[in-house]
Amino acid sequence: MSMGAEGEQGTVFNIQALSIRDGPGIRTTLFFKGCPLRCPWCSNPESMNPAVQIRMAPEKCRGCGACVEACGQGALWMEDGRIRFDHDRCIDCLACVEACGSGCITRVGSLMGAREAVDRLLRDRAFYENTRGGITLSGGEPLFQHAFCLNILQRLHGMGVHTAVDTSGYACRDVFEEITAHVDLVLFDVKHPEGPRHREVIGVDNAVILDNLRLCAKRTEVWTRTPLIPGFNDDPRVTDAIVDLAREVGAARCCFLPFHRWGEHKYARLGMADPYSCLRDFQDGELGRIRDRYRGLDGFVSFESA
């Protein structure tokens, strides 16, 4: 994990202004790099690895060969007029990124200081304050860099900015107690209510996640958010359990985010295996039937794009 002393520095990969799906109002969202989970449907694979990475877009290559000359590891070569890249040989020295002038090779992620991050986020203050919006810290998993996350939240909260954290809930209790003291809203991912199934697909048990959900709900406003995945958690028994859980803890909203493939193209560009091949799309009428099941809970249960 890249982090300076006491959270003065961290690794981020994007800042998105004018966001309307990361909490109330118009918001600016800061995306942290690094996540302890490996969800097969993740649409931000660049968020998984906490380190700075190289991303390839071969269709932009002009064939100049400057990156090949710059690479000291033999990870790049030209073949049939096209650039080739061996991710296994790459040591992420970024020499090729500096040499490339076409946008074919770019870096994903950068170190940022907490003060720098806050200054950048406050540029959009007029937009989000006029809509009762604010700033959301997302990822990846922002609590994976919890000291950096906390540093930013403390600075923003002291300025009266509405703050939200989008989290998987997979962190120790002490971290959640620190974070919720400086946050107005937690967007809490509830992927599956049953421990064995959660462990089978996500790789970790959900006991600590559910404990943190209950802790958050006692300390601040919570919206549960569930990626709705065919064959994983779209069964009515499971969706009912998720809605009941949100009610039980006193969540203000229970949001479902239907599966999509918008991030599928990113995996090859990062040299990662595509996990989407084992996932199916919603068939005609399936998503509509799930929506219809909760028509009477409009205002509490919602279906949103990710």
Q: Mind giving me the DSSP string for the chain?
A: ----GGGSEEEEEEEEEEESSSSSSSEEEEEEP--S---TT-S-GGGTSSS-EEEE-GGG-----HHHHH-SSS-EEEETTEEEE-TTT-----HHHHH--SSSEEEE-EEEEHHHHHHHHHTTHHHHHTTT-EEEEESS-GGGGHHHHHHHHHHHHHTT--EEEEE-S-S-HHHHHHHHTT-SEEEEE---S-HHHHHHHHSS-SHHHHHHHHHHHHHSEEEEEEEE-TTTT-SHHHHHHHHHHHHHHT-SEEEEEE---TTTTHHHHTT---GGGG--PPPTTHHHHHHHHTGGGBTTEEE---
Beta pairing partners, 84: 77
66 and 204 inside one domain = no
* pLDDT at position 306: 59
Domain termination residue (choose one: 42, 77, 108) = 108
Ranges in the chain, pLDDT < 70:
1-6, 306
183 and 284 inside one domain = yes
Domain termination residue (choose one: 84, 108, 132) = 108
Six-digit token string for 163: 């703050």
Total count of domains within the chain: 2
| Distance (Å, whole) CA 190 – CA 234 | 13
| Distance (Å, whole) CA 246 – CA 240 | 10
- Nearest alpha-carbon partner for 227 in 201, 255, 202, 205: 255
Contact 40, 34 (CB under 8 A): no
Range of the domain at 281: 5-50+109-303
201 and 103 inside one domain = no
DSSP 284: T
* pLDDT at position 7: 83
57 and 163 inside one domain = no
40 and 68 inside one domain = no
76 and 184 inside one domain = no
Which H/E stretch holds residue 109? none
187 and 252 inside one domain = yes
* pLDDT at position 81: 83
| Distance (Å, whole) CA 17 – CA 3 | 24
Domain termination residue (choose one: 61, 85, 108) = 108
Q: What are 3-53's pLDDT values in tens digits? A: 445 689 999 999 999 999 999 999 999 999 999 999 999 999 999 999 999
165 and 239 inside one domain = yes
42 and 116 inside one domain = yes
67 and 138 inside one domain = no
62 and 123 inside one domain = no
CATH number at residue 63: 3.30.70.20
Give pTM, 2 decimals.
Answer: 0.92
255 and 134 inside one domain = yes
CATH number at residue 292: 3.20.20.70
